[in-house]
């Protein structure tokens, strides 16, 4: 399965599926269909008759239950789904991805071939040392790799093909779903819960084997907009109101100890990620993140107080704050459905890894699906350094992920007997 999963990933990685922010249509880029339609056709070739890609670039497929009618589990096993996203991050180009495959990795630093200034050092990326002797996949140094989330896509596809070819493995109804636009926060924007039709789900969108995720940040977005007055700078005295300066003063007052650069683990952050505009109008967009949902209210108060401090310095400027609700910590729901995490924990052990819970300092499609009523924790893929030219993937870990998916499907049958 390692070979199969790797071959699938290398094919998928070469297809440009980069999504785009601030686009009001789904998918945000037409090119995501290129991979989605290919996946639907491949699923059909496995014998999955209902596999299709819809008009919004969502792929749905059903691996039918093969539980015998005389089995005690018949009729008692919940439908489950495995989900990954086809798009890649807008942060780094996804055009002309040229993966580098390193067999039997020896633990040394890896110089990327197309840009020798990009080096994967074991000092900066110590998890490489956990993969000595494995097959490692990197970029050539000019693009991202797309392991986020084409590794998860390849693993689900490999598991689906294996289940269809091995009817001796007894399982309930298993859904496959691939989504667009996860990287721009819209992965479930047009998802059909009727088509999905499951009680529990798992995203396959994590890191190294053993790392299981049952909680994410709770997340809001925030936008502060300043309105000024523009005029020729040669005649600006007592007339010009510079909105760009207003925004600069606001950003300067943010608590540095709450920045992504200074936080880890369960620590919250306020992240100004986009500043745009000019003299007449400028704005800054924020990511507000806290594992405690009520902490988002505290962050709103921090921004309001900063505005109160900056306003007297720029009395003729108008400053507005807008809060956008995004997603909530999945643990608030997942903890009330222990079967979904118990199954993935046991499946990981059976796959030969030592499981441990790791909080996601971000969000997944699972965050939103959980809030929509489908508990959806996250499984490892074997990828690292997502959204960057230093992204890499452990192909041996991909096999662990495939086995975990298959084991989960079997465990639900065992629990129902």
What SS3 state is found at 310?
helix
DSSP 77: S
What SS3 state is found at 92?
coil
* Residue among 392, 376, 383, 328 at smallest CA distance from 152: 383
Q: Contact at 8 Å (CB) between 219 and 286?
A: no
Q: Contact at 8 Å (CB) between 378 and 152?
A: no
Residues with catalytic roles: 87, 182
**Residue 271 β-bridge partners:** 287
Say how far residue 2 (Cα) sits from the centre of its chain: 22
Query: What is the distance between the alpha carbons of residues 390 and 125, in angstroms, rounded to a whole number?
Result: 10
Query: What is the distance between the alpha carbons of residues 58 and 33, in angstroms, rounded to a whole number?
Result: 9
Q: How far is CA 335 from CA 38, 102, 157, 329, 416, in A?
A: 36, 40, 28, 11, 20
Q: Contact at 8 Å (CB) between 173 and 78?
A: no
Around Cβ 70, how many Cβ atoms within 10 Å?
6
DSSP for 204-240, written as a single string: E--SSTTEEB--B-EEEEEEEEEE-B---GGG-TTT-
Query: What is the distance between the alpha carbons of residues 390 and 138, in angstroms, rounded to a whole number?
Result: 7
Query: What is the distance between the alpha carbons of residues 152 and 203, in angstroms, rounded to a whole number?
Result: 8
Residue with tokens 């489908």: 374
Query: What is the distance between the alpha carbons of residues 301 and 309, in angstroms, rounded to a whole number?
Result: 12
Q: Contact at 8 Å (CB) between 375 and 201?
A: yes
Instruction: Take residue 77 and report the two structure tokens written for it.
Output: 């096993």
* Residue among 39, 342, 347 at smallest CA distance from 176: 39
């Amino acid at each position: 399965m390692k070979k199969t999963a790797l071959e699938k990933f290398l094919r998928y990685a070469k297809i440009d599926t980069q999504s785009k922010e601030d686009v009001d249509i789904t998918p945000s880029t037409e090119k995501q269909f290129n991979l989605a339609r290919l996946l639907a056709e491949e699923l059909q070739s496995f014998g999955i008759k209902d596999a299709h890609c819809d008009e919004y670039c969502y792929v749905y497929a059903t691996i039918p239950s093969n539980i015998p009618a005389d089995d005690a589990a018949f009729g008692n096993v919940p439908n489950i789904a495995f989900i990954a996203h086809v798009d890649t991050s807008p942060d780094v180009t996804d055009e002309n991805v040229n993966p580098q495959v390193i067999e039997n990795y020896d633990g040394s630093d890896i110089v990327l071939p197309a840009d020798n200034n990009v080096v994967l050092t074991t000092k900066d990326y110590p998890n490489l040392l956990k993969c000595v002797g494995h097959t490692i996949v990197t970029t050539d140094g000019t693009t991202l790799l797309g392991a986020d989330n084409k590794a998860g896509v390849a693993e689900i596809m490999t598991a689906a093909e294996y289940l269809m070819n091995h009817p001796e493995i007894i399982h309930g109804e298993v859904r496959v779903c691939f989504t667009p636009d996860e990287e721009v926060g819209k992965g479930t924007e047009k998802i059909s819960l009727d088509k999905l039709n499951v009680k529990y789900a798992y995203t396959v969108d994590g890191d190294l084997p053993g790392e299981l995720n049952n909680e994410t940040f709770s997340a809001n977005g925030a936008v502060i907009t300043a309105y000024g007055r523009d005029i020729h700078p040669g005649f600006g005295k007592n007339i010009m109101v510079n909105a760009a300066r207003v925004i600069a003063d606001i950003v300067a007052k943010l608590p540095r100890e709450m920045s992504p650069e200074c936080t880890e683990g369960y620590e919250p952050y306020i992240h100004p990620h986009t500043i745009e505009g000019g003299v007449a109008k400028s704005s800054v967009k924020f990511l507000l993140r806290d594992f405690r949902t009520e902490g988002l209210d505290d962050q709103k108060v921090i921004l309001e107080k900063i505005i109160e401090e900056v306003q007297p310095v720029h009395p003729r400027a108008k400053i507005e704050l807008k809060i956008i609700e995004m997603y909530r910590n999945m643990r608030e729901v997942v903890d009330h459905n222990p079967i979904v995490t118990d199954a993935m924990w046991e499946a990981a052990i059976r796959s030969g890894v030592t499981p441990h819970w790791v909080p996601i300092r971000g969000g997944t499609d699972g965050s939103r699906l959980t809030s929509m009523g489908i508990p959806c924790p996250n499984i490892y893929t074997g990828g690292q350094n997502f959204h960057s030219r230093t992204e890499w993937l452990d192909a041996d870990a991909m096999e662990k992920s495939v086995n975990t998916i298959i084991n989960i499907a079997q465990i639900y049958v065992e629990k129902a007997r």
